[in-house]
């Protein structure tokens, strides 16, 4: 039979009369948990920002028509040479169009699928930007700009002008930031572009696009799909790429495989494209947890020391408690509850300090060319980490308190009383 009220009141009295040690022990936990919360909030904030940077811009499934040689050469289909060794030299890519076959029905099919958040068409054209006598090589993407804005946060990367301006301007162009700088052009100016065939078209700059990745910004610009089709002299069903965004990222792999089987297209899923990306995130997480656990182990040793000292000081008390009918378990619980109270108080303070530090980091200015939408350091305020933090505090103090408390449980009162 355990009378928790008595045990807690004894534990409380011990803690209050030894206030200095109690505070020292609690502060150990506070620093451990505070550091954990700060680190994990900052690190996961950073992870999420980098994820967004890549994943938001990246379609979950990318459909296109690849120019490649036929997998089966005609000779291998010929039955008479079935068991022969056929060698074909100088294989060339199969004669085919760059556009996706039956692109419009395919778009309809994808947009009707309930797993799909949206499928957006693209026309990729190789062009030259003309600046006086200089020709700059680059690409022009014909897009449905409103879909791009909805699915891939396009607006975040339009640093000047707007998505609506492009939609409303038939011969408008969103010029890459690098290109704009090279050619000393800005919003409202006109730029001449030339197709590979040599047709020159003037376009009006309605905005500047900056992805943060210099290689892209130096070559890529956006225009309306219809504009690019007209420049290329192609029909309205001429689409070279379809980007699919899903509700659930996990569906990407099976769906890409299914689409490849069902339609004559190549389908790349995001996992394939960004396999190395996950590795970075998980390594940052490992570092965060390693540092926090190290801090908590240090705090745990502090608690262990302080409780061991306390038990030596309280030998007489322990003996008298046992003599008056408290069992070894009761005595153990007294010291365990002291450890847990230290853990709880220290942990709670740690959460608060962690939160305050996260707020501070959140306010620190962080401006970089690469991330036009970010102005301060990113911080993730996930309530789950606060739960993990307090559970960490309990577990570490429980382990640190268990051993000294078990020692107290085993103290023989007769030896203490006779020893005096």
Site residues, another protein (CB under 8 A): 1, 3, 5-6, 9-10, 13-14, 17, 316-317, 319-330, 413-414, 417-418, 420
Closer of 360 and 414 to another protein (Cβ): 414
Q: Which is nearer to another protein, 14 or 62 (CB)?
A: 14
Residue 283 CB burial class (10 angstroms; 0-12, 13-18, ≥19)? exposed
d(CA 252, CA 162): 30
Smallest separation, CB 417 to another protein (Å): 6
Q: Please, which residue, 15 or 345, has the CB nearer to another protein?
A: 15
Q: What is the DSSP string of 305-322?
A: HHHHHHHHHTHHHHHHHH
4 vs 366, beta carbon nearer another protein: 4
d(Cα 304, Cα 296) in Å, to the nearest integer? 12
Structure tokens at 419: 């020893």
The answer to whether the beta carbons of residues 145 and 167 sit under 8 Å apart is yes
Query: What minimum distance in Å lies between the beta carbon of 26 and another protein?
Result: 19
The distance of closest approach from Cβ of residue 330 to another protein in the complex, given in angstroms and rounded to an integer, is 7
Q: Minimum distance between the CB of residue 318 and another protein, rounded to whole angstroms?
A: 10
Least Å distance, CB 10 to another protein, is 8
**From CA 115, how far away is CA 376, in angstroms rounded?**
35
Q: CB nearer to another protein: give 22 or 122.
A: 22
Q: Which of 322, 321, 386, 331 is nearest to 358 (CA)?
A: 386
The CA distance from 122 to 107, in Å, is 11
For the CB of residue 405, give the shortest distance to another protein in the complex, in Å: 16
Nearest CB to another protein, comparing residues 12 and 190: 12
Q: How far apart are CA 311 and CA 333, in angstroms?
A: 13
Question: Among residues 86 and 327, whose Cβ is nearest to another protein?
Answer: 327
- Three-class DSSP labels, 17-82: HCHHHHHHHHHHHHHHHHHHHHHHHHHHHHHHHHHHHHHHCCCCEEEECCCCCCCCCHHHHCHHHC
Minimum gap (Å) between residue 9 Cβ and another protein:
8
Closest distance of CB 319 from another protein, Å: 7
Give whichever of 156 and 330 is closer to another protein, judged by the CB atom.
Answer: 330
Q: Between β-strands 116-131 and 190-195, what pairing exists: parallel, antiparallel or unpaired?
A: antiparallel
């Amino acid at each position: 039979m355990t009378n928790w009220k008595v045990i807690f009141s004894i534990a409380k009295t011990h803690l209050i009369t030894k206030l200095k040690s109690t505070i020292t022990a609690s502060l150990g936990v506070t620093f451990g948990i505070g550091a954990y919360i700060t680190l994990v909030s900052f690190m996961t904030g950073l992870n999420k920002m980098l994820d967004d940077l890549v994943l938001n811009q990246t379609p979950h499934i990318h459909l296109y028509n690849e120019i490649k040689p036929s997998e089966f050469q005609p000779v291998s289909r010929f039955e008479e040479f079935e068991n022969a060794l056929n060698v074909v030299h100088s294989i060339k890519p199969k004669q085919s169009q760059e556009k996706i076959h039956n692109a419009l029905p395919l778009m309809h099919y994808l947009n009707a699928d309930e797993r799909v958040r949206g499928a957006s068409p693209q026309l990729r054209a190789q062009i030259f930007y003309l600046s006086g006598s200089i020709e700059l090589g680059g690409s022009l993407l014909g897009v449905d700009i409103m879909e791009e804005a909805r699915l891939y946060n396009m607006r975040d990367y339009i640093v000047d002008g707007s998505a609506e301006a492009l939609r409303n301007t038939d011969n408008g162009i969103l010029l890459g930031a690098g290109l704009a700088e090279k050619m000393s052009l800005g919003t409202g100016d006109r730029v001449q572009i030339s197709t590979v065939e040599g047709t020159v078209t003037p376009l009006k700059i309605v905005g500047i696009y900056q992805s943060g990745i210099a290689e892209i910004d130096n070559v890529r610009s956006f225009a309306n799909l219809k504009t690019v089709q007209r420049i290329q002299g192609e029909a309205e069903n001429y689409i070279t790429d379809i980007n699919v965004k899903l509700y659930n990222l996990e569906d990407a792999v099976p769906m890409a495989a299914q689409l490849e089987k069902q339609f004559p297209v190549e389908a790349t899923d995001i996992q394939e494209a960004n396999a190395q990306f996950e590795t970075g995130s998980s390594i940052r997480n490992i570092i965060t947890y390693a540092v926090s656990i190290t801090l908590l182990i240090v705090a745990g040793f502090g608690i262990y020391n302080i409780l061991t000292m306390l038990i030596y000081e309280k030998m007489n008390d322990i003996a008298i408690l046992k003599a008056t009918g408290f069992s070894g378990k009761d005595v153990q619980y007294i010291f365990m509850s002291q450890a847990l109270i230290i853990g709880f108080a220290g942990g709670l303070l740690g959460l608060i300090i962690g939160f305050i530090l996260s707020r501070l980091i959140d306010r620190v200015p962080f401006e970089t060319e690469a991330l036009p939408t970010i102005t301060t350091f990113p911080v993730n305020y996930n309530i789950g980490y606060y739960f993990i933090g307090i559970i960490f505090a309990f577990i570490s103090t429980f382990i640190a308190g268990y051993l000294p408390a078990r020692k107290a449980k085993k103290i023989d009162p007769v030896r203490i009383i006779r020893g005096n």
